[in-house]
Chains A and B, each alone.
Chain A
């Protein structure tokens, strides 16, 4: 069974540009999460989807971040426009229930 996949693995962009990160969850997992780790800090929750609906987006930093999950399958996280402080590793996770979240390899975003 395939795990959670994320694309791209690395992204380097200029300040002010737009970047879109993609996450493909484990097949059959209705719950999908985004987390972020900024350099030197803890991994922080961003938001939670149940199928295509946003269940909890309390961790989204501001309105430059937009997450979607069309059709309840894969999800995208768009940052527009990107700022320097958005640099970090963005993790996606999925789960069947609240118990166990399986994480992807992460996308390392560098904003110059």
Chain B
């Protein structure tokens, strides 16, 4: 069975500071990995995805994530956070069965 763990329920970061959100997954085959973001009052927006190839993937809004197979991790990073990055972030895993499994989400608060 596939599953995703996001260990941090809530993170507070200062504007301009770096951000790292953790994601660990369990999947029996080669996974497809995703990060989605949900801003207040908005739907889920795809930030980035990993299917194969380069293990460091770049996404929108200055985010990047690194796939580490040995650690079953796909952590999301941003070097300098903006107030508009305050949102809830979801890591998800899927495969050729089309079904996505999501983590519980991490809420990011940005303080001035």
Chain A 89-112: CB-based contact to B (< 8 A → 1; otherwise 0): 001010100111111111000000
Given the known inter-chain contacts A98-B95, A98-B98, please indicate yes or no for A106 contacting B104, CB distance below 8 A. no
The reply to whether A98 and B46 contact each other, CB–CB distance below 8 Å, is no
The reply to whether A56 and B44 contact each other, CB–CB distance below 8 Å, is no
CB interface residues, B 87-107, toward A, < 8 Å: 90, 92, 94-105
CB interface residues, A 53-112, toward B, < 8 Å: 55-56, 58-59, 91, 93, 95, 98-106
Q: Can you name the residue of chain A whose Cβ is closest to the Cβ of B4?
A: A42
Partner of A48, one of B51, B99, B101: B99
The reply to whether B98 and A56 contact each other, CB–CB distance below 8 Å, is yes
The reply to whether B51 and A99 contact each other, CB–CB distance below 8 Å, is yes
User: A55–B99 Cα gap in the complex (Å)?
Assistant: 11
CB interface residues, A 22-66, toward B, < 8 Å: 31, 33, 35, 41-45, 48, 55-56, 58-59
Partner of A98, one of B44, B96, B102, B105: B96
B89–chain A nearest beta-carbon distance, Å: 12
Partner of B98, one of A48, A102, A103: A48
Partner of A31, one of B32, B34, B98: B98
The reply to whether B49 and A56 contact each other, CB–CB distance below 8 Å, is no
B74–chain A nearest beta-carbon distance, Å: 15
User: A58–B36 Cα gap in the complex (Å)?
Assistant: 23
The reply to whether A98 and B32 contact each other, CB–CB distance below 8 Å, is yes
The reply to whether B36 and A103 contact each other, CB–CB distance below 8 Å, is yes
B27–chain A nearest beta-carbon distance, Å: 14
B42 within 8 A of A: yes
B53 within 8 A of A: no
Residues in A neighbouring B97, C-beta threshold 8 A: 56, 98
The reply to whether B103 and A102 contact each other, CB–CB distance below 8 Å, is no
Given the known inter-chain contacts A42-B102, A45-B101, A48-B99, please indicate yes or no for A98 contacting B43, CB distance below 8 A. no
Query: Given contacts A42-B102, A101-B100, could you give 15 more A-B pairs where the C-beta distance is less than 8 Å?
Result: A41-B104, A42-B4, A42-B101, A43-B90, A43-B100, A56-B98, A93-B44, A98-B94, A99-B32, A99-B51, A100-B34, A103-B43, A103-B46, A105-B43, A106-B44
